[in-house]
Each structure stands twice: as C-alpha cells, then as structure tokens.
Amino acid sequence: MALEYLLLWAMFGFAAGSLAKGKNRRQNIWFCIGLLLGPFAVLIIAILKPAQGPEQKYK
C-alpha cells in the first residue's frame, strides 16, 4: 500500500516538472516541489503564467 502512495507522489513530481518545462520554468525545482506538495504543486504550476524567455520579450 505504501508503494502505491510513493509511486503516486512521484507521478505528481513528474507532472509538475513536465508542466514547468512547458511553461519555461525550472523543471528540476518544480519536480522537487511536486514531490513535496503533490497535487498542490501541479495545481500551482498549472495556474502560473509562462515565464518570459528571451524570445518572448517585448512582443
């Protein structure tokens, strides 16, 4: 039973990291945040706007 929770929490970490990469944010940091906060981290990164990169400035 504990293994299922561990795998589920790891999936939240991967989901947060994947969403962060798509929004031009640090994937590693959001993976760790996802491991700590679980579904709340996925919700937070889903709500955040994409970070500005060099190609997105002054359009």
Position 57 scores a pLDDT of: 52
Task: Give the DSSP letter string of 2-59.
Answer: HHHHHHHHHHHHHHHHHHHHHTTS-HHHHHHHHHHHTHHHHHHHHHSPPPP-TTTTT-
Write out the two tokens for 10: 């790891």
What is d(CA 23, CA 10) in angstroms, rounded to the nearest whole number? 20
pLDDT above 80 for 56: no
pLDDT digits (tens, 9 = 90+) for 12-52: 999 999 999 999 999 999 999 999 999 999 999 999 999 88
Position 40 scores a pLDDT of: 97
Position 27 scores a pLDDT of: 96
Position 24 scores a pLDDT of: 93
pLDDT above 90 for 54: no
